[in-house]
């Protein structure tokens, strides 16, 4: 781009083009300035503060996208105590070529200068201990789930929405506060599939199958060979299934204080206390997960009904 060459020099001009990855469809046209010579500095007096901030964001991102990447020199520092029991790792980054970060800074340089030789003894001036707590990843929304499917190569753009709708329709998941949560039915089905058909429900299975289908489309593989290989393995897995029996411990306690066991009867799921025989019906779309053959419930969404020993939902009296 001429503007970049004129303003920053030829070394800063990018020479790469975006490459379409896999089966991902082309993106929509990007938002970009109509005249790159109308810099944020020139435009500032022609618009209000909010408009200026937005224009500056768009202009800088567009110009940066057309420039060469930045280059960093990284120094890895490993400190160990004399016994070798404790080790500490640090990384110092020094930018040796600004690239696009001359316009849009993304990484902060290390401000500390550290020059020590290997095996050199370092005297500690101060020790500060901080108690840190890691946070679990947030639940998926429909948008973040699509991004994860795209990242892992699960399905294609034309099947993302259909796959997610199927999960909702079968009540394997439900939405709470715009987040997707697994249900009791979905978690039990997932646990069953992982136990008996782990190879098929593996996260990478769909991605591998997509690759095989692409090979068939290109004539690099015969579809009969692929189907034969799949069904032979599937038949062996299927023969190892002796039916489904739901009898799992749960994290719920009976009124008598004893743990309750999840079972399935004529009228659906229910919890049963093996000590006193009391039962309690549970709706299939109750949020829950199965971990190590034990069911953990989310209090919200649990049924408040049920006394039937076979899982019938009866009104409390």
Structural domain span for residue 205: 142-239
Residue 37 lies in a domain: yes
Contacts of 248 (CB under 8 A, 6+ apart): 261, 262, 290, 293, 294, 295
The token duo for 240 is: 């190892």
**94 pLDDT exceeds 70?**
yes
Query: Has residue 198 been placed in a domain?
Result: yes
Residue 310 is encoded by which pair of tokens?
């076979």
| pTM (2 d.p.) | 0.54
Render pLDDT for 260-280 as a digit per residue (tens, 0 to 9): 999 998 889 999 999 999 999
The pLDDT, as a whole number, for residue 18 is 56
Joined tokens for residue 69: 């990447």
CATH number for the domain spanning 37: value is 1.10.290.10
**Position 86 in a domain:** no
**299: which 2 tokens?**
């209090």
How far is CA 218 from each of CA 51, 214, 223, rounded to the nearest angstrom? 50, 6, 11
Q: Which residue has the higher pLDDT, 172 or 72?
A: 172
Is residue 258 in a domain?
Answer: no
Which of residues 14, 46, 65 is at a domain's end? 65
CB 273 within 8 A of CB 264: no
Q: Is residue 150 part of a domain?
A: yes
- Of 214, 239, 264, which residue is a domain's last? 239
pLDDT digit string (tens) for 44-92? Answer: 999 999 999 999 999 999 999 889 988 888 888 888 877 777 788 888 8
Calculate mean pLDDT across residues 91-119. Answer: 78
What CATH number corresponds to the domain at position 226? 1.10.460.10
Interhelix angle 142-152/203-217, rounded to 10 degrees, is: 60
Residue 101: inside a domain, yes or no? Answer: no
288 Cβ partners below 8 Å, 6+ apart? 182, 183, 184, 187, 295, 296, 297, 298
Conformational region of residue 119, where left means phi above 0, alpha means psi within -120 to 50, and beta covers everything else? left
213 or 282, which is more confident:
282
Q: How many domains does the chain have?
A: 2
Asked if residue 108 is part of any domain, the answer here is no
CA distances for 87 relative to 90, 91, 301, angstroms = 10, 14, 47
Last residue of one domain, picked from the residues 14, 34, 65? 65
């Amino acid at each position: 781009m001429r503007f970049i060459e004129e303003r920053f020099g030829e070394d800063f001009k990018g020479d790469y083009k975006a490459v379409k990855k896999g089966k991902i469809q082309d993106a929509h046209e990007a938002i970009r300035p109509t005249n790159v010579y109308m810099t944020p500095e020139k435009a500032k007096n022609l618009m209000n503060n909010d408009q200026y901030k937005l224009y500056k964001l768009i202009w800088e991102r567009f110009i940066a996208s057309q420039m060469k990447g930045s280059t960093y020199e990284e120094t890895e520092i490993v400190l160990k105590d004399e016994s070798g029991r404790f080790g500490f790792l640090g990384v110092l980054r020094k930018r040796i070529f600004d690239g696009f970060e001359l316009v849009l800074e993304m990484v902060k340089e290390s401000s500390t200068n550290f020059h020590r030789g290997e095996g050199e003894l370092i005297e500690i001036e101060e020790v500060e201990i901080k108690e840190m707590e890691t946070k679990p990843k947030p639940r998926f929304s429909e948008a973040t789930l699509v991004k994860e499917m795209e990242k892992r190569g699960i399905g294609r753009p034309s099947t993302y929405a259909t796959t997610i709708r199927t999960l909702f329709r079968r009540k394997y998941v439900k939405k709470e506060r715009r987040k997707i949560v697994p249900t009791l039915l979905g978690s039990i089905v997932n646990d069953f599939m992982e136990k008996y058909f782990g190879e098929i429900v593996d996260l990478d299975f769909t991605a591998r199958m997509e690759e095989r289908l692409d090979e068939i489309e290109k004539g690099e593989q015969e579809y009969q060979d692929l189907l034969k290989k799949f069904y032979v393995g599937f038949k062996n897995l299927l023969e190892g299934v002796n039916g489904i029996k739901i009898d799992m411990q749960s994290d719920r306690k009976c009124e008598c204080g004893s743990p309750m066991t999840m079972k399935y009867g004529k009228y659906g799921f229910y919890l049963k206390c093996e000590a006193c025989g009391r039962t309690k019906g549970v709706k299939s779309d109750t949020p829950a997960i199965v971990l190590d053959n034990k069911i953990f419930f989310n209090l919200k969404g649990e049924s408040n009904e049920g006394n039937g020993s076979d899982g019938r939902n009866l009104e409390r009296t």
